[in-house]
Every structure is written in structure tokens, then in C-alpha cells.
Structure 1
Amino acid sequence: MAKTNPGRFFEDYHIGQVIAHAVPRTVGEGERALYHALYPARHALYSSDEFARDCGLEGSPLDDLAAFHVVFGKTVPDVSLNAVANLGYAEGRWLKPVFPGDTLRSLSEVIGLKQNSNGKTGVVWVRTRGINQMGETVMDYVRWVMVRKRDIDAPAPETVVPELKKVLAPSDLVIPEGLDFSNYDFTLAGEPHRWGDYEVGETIDHVDGVTVEEAEHMMATRLWQNTAKVHFDLTFRPEGRLIYGGHVISMARALSFNGLANAQMIVGLNGGAHANPCFSGLTIKAWSEVLDKAETSAPGVGAIRLRLVATKGGEPFQLRGEDGKYNKDVLLDLDYWALMPM
């Protein structure tokens, strides 16, 4: 009997299948320190306990994307070990802040299957929940991946493509309990721009860039216990180790501080696409577009919907060509909701 795990292939999934992912992870202050060493992350709410307490929280949470990466990483051995590509995200919600000392585990349900016309691969949709030590769901999201078949002659499953919301409504967003931006300190946060200073349709060039290094992206991917072969093994992908998409997301989010320093908490993920592969040596830059705004019931807190685009040094604000396809310089197109002081 084989003891090693070859990972699941497309024919190993079925609708309604629930996968409890292994290796719970207790996160600590070291997680935050390493995250901030890997990325130029400077949002004040995630850097200072005192700033966070002044905003009504018990202390500084772990960066939202750091918590996302921990939850995501648990799923890789069961969902995407044999993936060709991670295709997209939808209906992502951060439901509770994650604090140092919390223990996270992940649970996924298969909600969609579709074999590709080549008969060699198929698309698998899963809804994943991150759960803390008290059994509370701290986040959930849907993602879909293209997965290889083990046996190309295996019969195709019945096609089920889930209906997913293209955009979360403001009412779908969960505001952290106690969050209050009434006494928000804009000086300590780093920029004076409030929710009301941004207009729908406005675009922001975040100016700065970071060249991706081989060692850093592999360190980050190991930190999240992401075991996908394409990120480590050159014999698996001879053209280069593929940079984990979450590394690109975190880098772009950190770069967006310059112009969006007060977009403090990510609470919703409407959609996302890794438009082109990223390899070491590329310089990541970022720009954002304001897509929508909404008031919330929390004192002094507004919600802002943003498109975050990461590029490999191309001109800002150039997303798609005349053919409707992503420009070759675009690495990431992410649509999310954040909370900002009004």
C-alpha cells in the first residue's frame, strides 16, 4: 500500500464532496513579522496594537491576506497539487479578524465540475472555509482550478457550473465587531485621504515597484505550507518556478498603500484572475480603480470597492487589448471591498 500522497486528479472529485484539510496552524506575531519582511506592508491597523485599539478592536489582527494565505495553503495538497492553473476567485468574505494565537484549519466542499474539451483536464470549483479554534468561520471563498486527469479515458462527470455572484453586495459584507473609525488618526495612518475623497471611476498609480526574488517567493510559499510543485520543482516546470499567485496579490496590496493607506481592512473578494504567469526577476507594479462605494452601519466606516491590478512594469491603466484579452503585462486583476474611514 502506497504511503505517499500523489494528490487528487480530476476524476477523484464529485459534487458535494467535503474535504477536511490536514495540519491546523497556530499563527503568532512571528507570522506578522515575516509577512512584513516579505512585503512592504504598512497599513497601520495591522502594524500597531494601539492604533487597532483606538479603532475599537482588541488589538492588531493578522493581515487579512496573511490569514487568507494560511487558509488557502491548507487546501493545496487536496485541491491543487495536480493543478495546471488556479483560474479564479469569487464570493470571498472575511468574517472575523484573525489574531495572533488563533489556530486555523480549512474545510472545502466541491460545488462544480466540468471536463475540458481536450479530455486531459477539468475544472473543479470548491468553496473553502477557514475555521478558528472556537469553531467559528473566519473567512470563506470560492475558487476554481484546472486539474489534470490521471486517466484520460475516465468518463467525464456530469457538468455542474455553480452560479456565483459577480459582485458582493454591501449587505453581504461583515464589519468586525466594535470597529469604529470616529477617532481615526490620519497622521499615524500615513495619508489624509478619506472615503469621501475618492470618486467612482478614479484611477490611482501606486508608483512604486518591487522586483520579485526567487528565494523570497519560495520562502513565502513555504510559510503558507503551500506544496504546489510548480512553485518549487524546476523539473516539473522547466521554464521557471511559477510565483505563487498569493505572493503577487500580497505584493500588489502592499504597494497600493501609496494612495490607499486608509483602505485598511479587506472584507470582500468579488473576483480575481491571474492573467499571466509571474516568474522571478520581474518587477511588480500596481494601480487601482475605484469601482463603487457604500456606507456601513459602523461609526465612521465606509466601504470602498477597488480593482487592484498588478503588472510586470507595463504602463498603468492598460488592462485589456482591443480583442478583450488581458494585456501581456498584466499579472493580476483583483476586485475587492475594503473598509475606510469616512
Structure 2
Amino acid sequence: MRKATTGNYFEDFTTGLEIRHAVPRTVTEGDAALYIALTADRHPLHCNAEFARALGFERETVNDLLVFHTVFGKSVPDVSLNAVANLGYADVRFGVPVLPGDTISSTTRVLGRREARGGETGVVWVRTVGVNQRGEEVLTLIRWVLVNKRDPESPAVEDDAPEVPESVAPDALYVPEQLDLSAFSAGITGGRAWWGDYEPGERIDHVEGMAIEEAEQQIITRLYQNTARAHFNAHALQGTRFGRRVIYGGHIISVARALSFNGLENAVRVLAFNGGTHSNPTFAGDTLFAWTEVLERIDLGRDDAGALRLRLIATKDADPATEDVPLRVTDERGRERYHPNVVLDLDYTVLMPKAPG
């Protein structure tokens, strides 16, 4: 009887397969503090208990992206241990807020698959759902992953790639029932702009840059119990395309979101990811910058808040505030691609208070 697992390969995934992931995770105050230490995130709902209580919560809530990474990390040993890359996200919806002490469990269902050219890999689409100890949904997400085949000579599979939604519908956005913005204080956030101050088409350069170091990405990826060998096994990666460890794409999202606080200070919480692409790899030593394009103002039918649909772009080693960094370029074969310094293109939605009075 084999005691250790080598993870699932492309051939092991069948459409409709359901996987209950091992080792549910209790998220603690220590996790939340370490997340701040490794990302410099300043959103007060996640670090200021008095601010959170003033908005109707029992205490400060766990950062939305820490919840995302925890649910995601639980799926890695079963879904992407043998992945080449995580290719994209869709229909990512944030549910009931998580408080320190809550325990998160994750399950995954395979939505479809498609063999890649060359026959050595294939793309697998999955939906992963995270729930708390009461069975309340805290996150649901679709992602698609390029996974190695166990045997490159194995027969080709039928292409049953699913259609994924282009965006999360406004009526599917979850606003916490206990949220009360009557006591929201811009003096706490430092923000000067409200929901109605953001115009579609507006661009916000977030000014600061943040270098990514090997040690921090190792620590934070371990925090999420993400075991993907692309982030850890330097020995096994020596003969691969990059020959070195790649920074976990979720860490890029977290750093870019933390940088975006400068200009989006009043955003209360993340409601959804409509779609996202890790457009180029990031490595230790790279410096990240970020800018945001306002895509849409969404009226939620509330007097106190609306939603903003935003496009968050992260670049490496190129400051978009002072340097010309086009989003896309044409390569030598005439194909349009992301500029090599663009590492993240994330379409997401946040909850933003309306101006008081």
C-alpha cells in the first residue's frame, strides 16, 4: 500500500469529479497579523477592531484575500500539485465574513478539461467552495489550471471545456447583513473619495512600489499550506523553463491590492473577482507596482454604499506612474500579448461607501 501521494495528473481528472480537501484550517489572529507583515495591507476592517465594531461586526474580520488564499491553498494538493501554471479565475464570490477562530473547509468539483497542444499537459477547470464551521459559504471560485500528464503518450480526451461567466452579476454580490455604514469614518481610513467620486475610465496610479523577496513568498505560501512545487522545489525546477521558483500568483494579487489602498482607501471589502490573469511570472527580486482603471459604478439599491468594478494591473520592475508600460504588445510573430512587465490583470468588484448626507 502506497502511503504518500504524488498528486493528481491530467488523466486523473474527470468532469463531475468531486474532491473533499483534507485538513480544514482554523484561521487565527496570528495568521491575520502575519498576513499584514508580509503584504503591508492597511484596510482597517481587517486590522482595527473598533472600526469593525462600529460597522456592525463582532470584531475585525479576516482579510478577504487571506480567506481566498486559504480556500485556494486547501485545493492545491489535489488540484494543482502537478500544475505548470494557474491560468485564470472567474465567478469568484466572497460570502459570509470570516472572523479569527473560524474554521474553513474546502471542496472542489471538476467542471471540464481540454488537452493542450503537444499532448504533455492539459487544462482542467474546477470550482472550489469554502465554508465555515457552520456550513456558511465564505468563498466560491472557478479557476483553470494547466496540469502535467502522467504519461504524455496517454490517449487524448474529449474536449468538454465549460463556458465561464464574464462577470459576477450585481444581484449575486453578497453584502454582509450586519453591515452598518452610518458610523463609517473616513478619518480612520484616510480616504477622501466616495462611490460617486470614481468615474468609469478613470485611472489611478497607486504610487508606491514593493520588492518581492524569496523569504516572504516562502513564508506566506506556507501560511496558506499551498504545496505547489513550482513555489518550493528549487531542485526539481532546475531543468524547467524558468529554472527557478516562481512567486505564487496569489501573493501578487495581495501585494497589488495592498498597494491599491493609496487611492481606494474607503473600499470596505472585496465582493468578487470577475476574471483574472497571471500574465507573466514574477521572481524574487522583482519590484511590483500597480494601477487601477475604474470600469463601472454599480448601484446596489442602497443609500449608504455602491459597488465599483475595477481593473487592477500589476507590473514588475516598471513604474507605470513614470514609465510607459503598455498593457499589450505585438510579438515578432504578429501575436498580441501582455507586455512582459505586466504580471497581473484582475477584474474585481469592491464595496464602496457613498458620501454621507
Q: Following the alignment from structure 2 to structure 1, what is the Cα–Cα distance between the partners of residues 336 and 187?
A: 42
Letter in 1 for 2:212: V
Contact kept? 1:95, 1:137, Cα under 8 Å: yes
Corresponding residue of 2:163: 163
Contact kept? 1:319, 1:326, Cα under 8 Å: yes
Is 1:318 paired with 2:326? yes
Contact kept? 1:8, 1:78, Cα under 8 Å: yes
Q: Following the alignment from structure 1 to structure 2, what is the Cα–Cα distance between the partners of residues 28 and 189?
A: 24
- Give the number of equivalent residue pairs: 342
Indicate the SS of the match to 2:218. Answer: helix
Map of 1:110-121 to 2, 5 A cutoff? 110-121=110-121
Map of 1:1-342 to 2, 5 A cutoff? 1-238=1-238, 239-316=243-320, 318-322=326-330, 323-342=335-354
Q: Following the alignment from structure 2 to structure 1, what is the Cα–Cα distance between the partners of residues 97 and 42?
A: 17
TM-fit CA distance, 1:95: 1.1
TM-score normalised by the chain length of structure 1: 0.98
Indicate the SS of the match to 1:182. Answer: helix
Q: Following the alignment from structure 1 to structure 2, what is the Cα–Cα distance between the partners of residues 191 and 307?
A: 19
Q: Following the alignment from structure 1 to structure 2, what is the Cα–Cα distance between the partners of residues 156 and 127?
A: 23
TM-fit CA distance, 1:45: 1.1
Which is worse superposed, 47-56 or 211-220?
Answer: 47-56
1:109-132 Cα distance to aligned partner (Å, 9 max, x none) = 000110112111100000000011
TM-fit CA distance, 1:299: 4.5
Contact kept? 2:209, 2:319, Cα under 8 Å: no
Letter in 2 for 1:149: K
TM-fit CA distance, 1:59: 1.9
Letter in 2 for 1:47: C
Indicate the SS of the match to 1:65. Answer: helix
TM-fit CA distance, 1:47: 1.3
1:39-95 Cα distance to aligned partner (Å, 9 max, x none) = 110011111111112112222110000011010000000000000110000000001
Letter in 2 for 1:319: L
TM-fit CA distance, 1:192: 1.3
1:124-153 Cα distance to aligned partner (Å, 9 max, x none) = 000000011111111100000000111122
Q: Following the alignment from structure 1 to structure 2, what is the Cα–Cα distance between the partners of residues 295 and 28?
A: 34
Q: Following the alignment from structure 1 to structure 2, what is the Cα–Cα distance between the partners of residues 172 and 208?
A: 33
TM-fit CA distance, 1:315: 4.4
1:192-219 Cα distance to aligned partner (Å, 9 max, x none) = 1101111000001101011111100000
Q: Following the alignment from structure 1 to structure 2, what is the Cα–Cα distance between the partners of residues 307 and 181?
A: 25
Which is worse superposed, 293-302 or 12-21?
Answer: 293-302
Letter in 2 for 1:78: D
Letter in 1 for 2:28: G
Contact kept? 1:175, 1:298, Cα under 8 Å: no
Contact kept? 1:181, 1:299, Cα under 8 Å: no
Q: Following the alignment from structure 1 to structure 2, what is the Cα–Cα distance between the partners of residues 315 and 221?
A: 26
Indicate the SS of the match to 2:153. Answer: coil
TM-fit CA distance, 1:270: 0.4
TM-fit CA distance, 1:298: 4.3
Q: CA RMSD in A?
A: 1.1
Structure 1: 4+ residue segments shifted above 6 A? none
Indicate the SS of the match to 2:219. Answer: helix
Give me the identity figure in percent: 53
Letter in 1 for 2:42: R
Contact kept? 1:180, 1:301, Cα under 8 Å: no
TM-fit CA distance, 1:229: 0.6
Which is worse superposed, 317-326 or 291-300?
Answer: 317-326
Q: Following the alignment from structure 1 to structure 2, what is the Cα–Cα distance between the partners of residues 318 and 306?
A: 18
Q: Following the alignment from structure 1 to structure 2, what is the Cα–Cα distance between the partners of residues 210 and 315?
A: 11
Contact kept? 2:289, 2:319, Cα under 8 Å: no
TM-score normalised by the chain length of structure 2: 0.94
Indicate the SS of the match to 2:328. Answer: coil
Q: Following the alignment from structure 2 to structure 1, what is the Cα–Cα distance between the partners of residues 16 and 315?
A: 37
Letter in 1 for 2:349: W
Letter in 2 for 1:245: G
Which is worse superposed, 52-61 or 260-269?
Answer: 52-61
Letter in 1 for 2:7: G
Query: Which stretches in structure 2 are left out of the alignment for 5+ residues?
Result: none
